[in-house]
Amino acid sequence: MGEELTVEPKINCAEACVRGCVLGDKCPNIEFREAASQFIQETSLDEMLAMAEERRRKKMMEPPKWVLPED
């Protein structure tokens, strides 16, 4: 009885945290949030746009991926 179990709620961050993290310091994705904040602080908008354009060009050059329905 002396041991307490803490159960972290399972939430869909993409839906629940649209206006900011609802779990605060208990967020299971805190390291990703910190990495994203650091990336935003250290990377200029022009660099981000160049990255996005490069990725878009690569994707456009890839052959189409066919999804065939299973019988």
Model pLDDT for residues 1-51, shown as the tens digit of each residue: 444 445 455 788 888 888 888 888 888 888 888 899 999 999 999 999 999
Q: Is residue 3 part of a domain?
A: no
- Closest C-alpha among 34, 29, 31, 37 to residue 13: 29
In a domain, 23, yes or no: yes
Q: Tell me how many domains the chain contains.
A: 1
Domain span at 25: 13-60
> Nearest to residue 10, comparing CAs of 25, 24, 27, 32?
27
| CA separation for the pair 47, 43 (Å, rounded) | 6
Any domain includes 66: no
| Residue 28 is assigned to a structural domain of this protein | yes
Q: What's the rounded Cα separation, in Å, for the pair 16 and 7? A: 18
Which pTM does this prediction carry? 0.54
Query: Is 4 part of any domain?
Result: no
Q: How far apart, in whole angstroms, are the C-alpha atoms of residue 43 and residue 49?
A: 10
